[in-house]
Amino acid sequence: MSYYYQHPGAVGFERKMRAAIMEAAAALNASGADFAVYEDSRGNPQLWTRTANGGLQLRKGVLPSVGISDIFRNGHLYAFECGTAMVIVLYMATLEVIGENAFNTYFQDLFLWDWHYHSNLRLIATHHISEASPGDVVYFKNPDHAPDKVEWQGENAIMLEDGLYYGHGIGIAPAEVIIDSLNQERYPGSLTSAYLTNEALHPDFAYLQSLSLGREPSPVDPRHLESTIFSRIGTQSYIHHLKR
For 18-41, the pLDDT digits (tens) are: 999 999 999 999 999 999 999 999
Domain interval for residue 31:
8-123+204-215
Q: Is residue 24 part of a domain?
A: yes
In whole angstroms, what is the distance from residue 85 CA to residue 233 CA? Answer: 13
| Structural domains counted in the chain | 2
Query: Is the confidence at residue 242, as pLDDT, over 60?
Result: no
62 and 88, same domain (yes or no): yes
Residue type, position 47, single letter: L
100 and 187, same domain (yes or no): no
Q: Is 2 helix (H, G, I), strand (E, B) or coil?
A: coil
E-state strands within the chain: 34-35, 48-50, 56-58, 79-80, 111-112, 123-126, 137-141, 154-159, 164-167, 171-174, 195-203, 225-233, 236-243
146 and 188, same domain (yes or no): yes
58 and 136, same domain (yes or no): no
73 and 116, same domain (yes or no): yes
The residue ranking higher by pLDDT, 8 or 200, is: 200
Q: Is residue 230 part of a domain?
A: no
12 and 112, same domain (yes or no): yes
pTM: 0.87
Output the pLDDT for position 3. 46
Q: Is 170 helix (H, G, I), strand (E, B) or coil?
A: coil
67 and 177, same domain (yes or no): no
pLDDT bin (cut points 50, 70, 90) of residue 7 is: low
Q: Over the stretch 183-240, which tens digit does the pLDDT of each residue have?
A: 999 999 999 999 999 999 999 999 999 999 987 655 543 323 333 333 334 444 333 3
102 and 170, same domain (yes or no): no
